[in-house]
Structure 1
Amino acid sequence: MKRWLLLLLIFVNISAVAQDSVYLFCYFKDNGKDGLHMAYSHDGYKWTALNGDSSLLKPTAGNDKLMRDPCIIQGPDKLFHMVWTVSWNERTIGYASSPDLIHWSEQQTVPVMEHEPTAKNCWAPEITYDPAGKQYMIYWATTIPGRFQAGDTTGDDKYNHRLYYTLTKDFKKYSKAKLLYDPGFNCIDATIQKDGNQWVMFFKDETRFPPAKNLRVAYSKRLTGEYVMTGSPITGNYWAEGPTALRSNNTWLVYFDKYRDHKYGVVKMQDNGVQDESHQLQMPSGIRHGSAFKVSKAVFDQLPR
């Protein structure tokens, strides 16, 4: 076979694989009252809102019925599982599932911290599947006054968050919440993914006095920990929150909300360092803290534009 024909076949095959999946980004707008928004991208940099940037799902869980900080993953059961923040002050989170991102199950109000009567909140839950345990880990940030001395005077309005988790196999029974990570300071907004033979956590240093408000990285051999923080912050001289990440080969694209600047940012993280590529990023107007994930083209083609 001629060399040019072989190269052409290789190119066509790579293109077919690349076009077989699409990146999605689920997010909220304003205070989260109108529910779930989504955008799509083919390259991870240019994102276009779906459904005319109108809500795809109205929130019903919790007393305040918000849908902030949505996180969606597709499990081995082929269902899409979503968790979200239902309130600023409740000790619960929201959960729902869908086979196609269009039709959703009845929304659950999951009382993950009801056993802690002084807990102030449950913010920014995320969900990760653990193939070793064949179960899902849901994790979030909560402040329990007096529980941790470190950072007790450094937060906003006496918030001093740590990261907690629960485990479930069927989204009917949930284990009692346990502490996931205490880096020794106020922290929120964790997102965890598999990274080779270990797990990587991107999270926010929520210290207000003196201000940090940046994103850090920690690693663990086990999904439930122990996590060890490495290196310096991966974000710059601005306030960042709500990290979410996509991986391609040996590169992480870590997206985050530059919430004081009312815009989104992205850094490219490789073994040789971190590079800010926010100038290349195009996101829908008004996008707030969300999560990125990949779907098949068949699923994407059914979604409303």
Structure 2
Amino acid sequence: MRHTLPRVGYLLAAVLLLAASFQVAGQRTASAQEKYTGYLMAHFTGEHADGEQIYLSHSDDGRHWNDLNDGRPVLRSTVGTRGVRDPALIRSPKGDRYWIIATDLHIGSGTSWGDAANRGSTSIVVWESSDLVNWSKPRLLDVAGDIPDAGNAWAPEAIYDPATDDYVVYWTTNSTVDGLKKGRIWYARTSDFRSITTPEIYIDRPGDQGIIDTQIIEVPDSAGGWRYYRASGDGQLTIEAGDSILGDWTRLGDLSHMGLTGSDVEGPMWAKSNDSNEWSLWLDQYATGRGYMPLASADLGSTRNFVRIDDYHLGGTHKRHGSILNLTKAEEKRTLTEWPHRPVHRLQSFNYQGRYVRHADFGVRLDADVKPAEDAQFRLVPGLADHSARHVSFESQNYPGYYLRHSDFGFSLERDDGSRLFAEDATFRQEDGLADASWSSFRSYNYPDRYLRHRDFQLRLEPVTDATGRADATFRLTS
């Protein structure tokens, strides 16, 4: 027997349904209605000490990046393997909640790639924040533990699904299905990044071809003809398009016509320009170790529309597989206030003005035509032993946490060991230049009768008693 609803009931139900849809739509678009003014990149830097942690970088234009927190990790994992890779930044639709999710993997601790892929962590690491600055302690979310024969859980990503008002989390797991073990993309749903639904296969390539590093971007105006685009590493760098996250996807092509395959690049990162109808696809040149490179397109409907971009700069740290978040003005202000970018300088010699202080194999000398240029770049930070005005320490641009330090009155680039002696050896008082007051000289903190100077192009700490010494101890800070 069919039950009918009176007409008034239908009208009331329709009104309530319409109101609810407007409310949900408003929640989804609240943050998108604010103008974006900057960009934030989360990444790791490599398998070296501290490399497998969370680093942040900022850009005004989406092409030129500055390291935040003076190139040091912003977040450290204290759970699981105590190392993280492949971080993804997620913002809630209302812009009131943020998450960072990352691979629980620490190759730098001595783990082999074979063990990591076949007997590794099945969890991902999660941080949560309400303001993009103050983050929770890291926690583990076991995403692949229910997958039979799961060997790992790598390169996690998440995207908000308006159809269900929750998030689709997806990642790569190396596991056996129908007798074949390989990497497949799995997915599950979550509303809080604390619990998930039962994982299911999301993307599976034919035969024994594995897949990894999928990242999806939403294009609200369907630029190129589709609402969603995803890039994956599956032997090629494959681009696909679809109109729903878990619906059908169409292969648009790959980047082999640009000389870029899965043997050359990995870790694709999508980013939308704040100022134009252009999309960037950043690719990690892992095979050559050169870090990220950007491609750009104003029409994502064909892989033939991508072009290489040459005018870009990645800052001082080596940036590996991560993600990019467009920032509102308020988000950008909070981020830069918490982790200000301090400019880098070179120390130019007064009497050999074509030469600059640089480190090489952790020794310190004066050279011309320094390559790589970052070896001659330092941040002037408050003195490690004395934070008062004019006391400074010289932190390496490309080895954050390493400082110019004297020992037996010679100089080397050394990592801060936290000791009082190190702090004193690495602290100097910046004064008017001994040979020219418009330049600078640097007096030792713990040997105040001695200055930083060069002799035979080696950096020394010595007393200054004559005109030659005054010239040798005079430097200019240049950009």
Q: Report if TM-score (shorter chain) is over 0.5.
A: yes
Deviation at 1:18, TM superposition (A): 10
1:286 aligned onto 2:303:
no
Structure 2 match to 1:143:
174
Is 1:97–1:104's contact at 8 Å kept on the other side of the alignment?
Answer: yes
Is 2:269–2:322's contact at 8 Å kept on the other side of the alignment?
Answer: yes
Q: CA RMSD in A?
A: 2.3
Structure 2 match to 1:230:
252
Is 1:74–1:80's contact at 8 Å kept on the other side of the alignment?
Answer: yes
Structure 2 match to 1:99:
130
Alpha-carbon distance in structure 2 between the residues aligned to 1:215 and 1:108: 31
Deviation at 1:250, TM superposition (A): 4.0
Letter in 1 for 2:156: P
Structure 1 match to 2:328:
296
1:134 aligned onto 2:156:
no
Is 1:181–1:225's contact at 8 Å kept on the other side of the alignment?
Answer: no
Q: Deviations over 1:19-48 (max 9, x none)?
A: 852111110112365521011111111111
Per the alignment, in what secondary structure is the counterpart of residue 56 of structure 1?
A: coil
Per the alignment, in what secondary structure is the counterpart of residue 93 of structure 1?
A: strand
Structure 2 match to 1:79:
97
Per the alignment, in what secondary structure is the counterpart of residue 175 of structure 2?
A: coil
How many equivalent residue pairs?
A: 272
Higher helix fraction (1 or 2):
2
Structure 1 match to 2:411:
none
Pair 61,131 (structure 1): closer, same or farther in 2 beyond 3 Å: farther
Pair 148,217 (structure 1): closer, same or farther in 2 beyond 3 Å: farther
2:267 to 237, 242, 245: 242
Structure 1 match to 2:40:
24
Deviation at 1:97, TM superposition (A): 1.0
Alpha-carbon distance in structure 2 between the residues aligned to 1:257 and 1:274: 20
Structure 1 match to 2:233:
204
Per the alignment, in what secondary structure is the counterpart of residue 161 of structure 1?
A: strand
Is 1:56–1:102's contact at 8 Å kept on the other side of the alignment?
Answer: no
Per the alignment, in what secondary structure is the counterpart of residue 306 of structure 2?
A: strand
**TM-score, normalised with respect to structure 1:** 0.82
Deviation at 1:282, TM superposition (A): 1.0
Structure 2 match to 1:65:
82
Deviation at 1:161, TM superposition (A): 1.0
Structure 1 match to 2:389:
none
Per the alignment, in what secondary structure is the counterpart of residue 299 of structure 1?
A: helix
**TM-score, normalised with respect to structure 2:** 0.53
Letter in 2 for 1:200: Y
1:270 aligned onto 2:270:
no
Higher relative contact order (CA closer than 8 Å, sequence separation 6+)? 1
Q: Deviations over 1:147-188 (max 9, x none)?
A: 474xx6xxxxxxx21111110112233101111112323110
Structure 2 match to 1:189:
213
Pair 239,119 (structure 1): closer, same or farther in 2 beyond 3 Å: same
Deviation at 1:92, TM superposition (A): 1.0
Per the alignment, in what secondary structure is the counterpart of residue 52 of structure 1?
A: helix
Aligned identity (percent) is 26
Per the alignment, in what secondary structure is the counterpart of residue 38 of structure 2?
A: strand
Is 1:33–1:59's contact at 8 Å kept on the other side of the alignment?
Answer: no
Is 1:40–1:50's contact at 8 Å kept on the other side of the alignment?
Answer: yes
1:113 aligned onto 2:144:
yes
1:38 aligned onto 2:56:
yes
Alpha-carbon distance in structure 2 between the residues aligned to 1:215 and 1:174: 29
Structure 2 match to 1:14:
none
Deviation at 1:270, TM superposition (A): 3.4
1:253 aligned onto 2:280:
yes
Deviation at 1:71, TM superposition (A): 0.3
1:50 aligned onto 2:68:
yes
Q: Deviations over 1:65-97 (max 9, x none)?
A: 211100002112421111100123111111121
Letter in 1 for 2:216: I
Alpha-carbon distance in structure 1 between the residues aligned to 2:93 and 2:34: 21
Is 1:119–1:143's contact at 8 Å kept on the other side of the alignment?
Answer: yes
Is 1:183–1:229's contact at 8 Å kept on the other side of the alignment?
Answer: no
Per the alignment, in what secondary structure is the counterpart of residue 144 of structure 1?
A: strand
Is 1:181–1:226's contact at 8 Å kept on the other side of the alignment?
Answer: no
Letter in 2 for 1:269: S
Structure 2 match to 1:219:
241
Per the alignment, in what secondary structure is the counterpart of residue 279 of structure 1?
A: coil
Pair 29,223 (structure 1): closer, same or farther in 2 beyond 3 Å: same
Pair 20,72 (structure 1): closer, same or farther in 2 beyond 3 Å: closer
Deviation at 1:278, TM superposition (A): 4.1
Deviation at 1:189, TM superposition (A): 0.3
1:122 to 139, 145, 153: 153
Per the alignment, in what secondary structure is the counterpart of residue 310 of structure 2?
A: helix
2:121 to 73, 90, 93: 90
Rg larger for: 2
